[in-house]
Structure 1
C-alpha cells in the first residue's frame, strides 16, 4: 500500500477538498490508518479529516 499512501498525499497537496471530503477517499484513509503501522502521511491525513483522535 505504500503507492496508495503516496498518491493520497500527492492528491491532498493538489486538491485537498477532494481528498478530505469524498466518502470513498475517507474510507480508504480510514482503512489505511488502521494498519500497523500506518504510513505517517496517512496518519496525519486521518487526523486532519477527523477520523482519529
Structure 2
C-alpha cells in the first residue's frame, strides 16, 4: 500500500520516511529534508541510516 505524499499526514516525518522508502521522494528531495537538523535528529533517533532510509 503506497502513501499519498500530497496529503498532509498526521505525522509528517514518518510520512516523509515512508515516501522516500517507496520511491515517491527523489534522492535530492530526501537530502533537502535531511538538511533540517530536527528532521535528521528524528531520523537518527528512529535508528534509520539517513543515507539509505533503512533501519540500522
TM exceeding 0.5: no
Task: Indicate the structure with greater strand content.
Answer: 2
Per the normalisation by structure 1, the TM-score is: 0.43
Q: Which structure: greater helix fraction?
A: 1
* Pair member with larger Rg: 2
TM-score by length of 2: 0.42
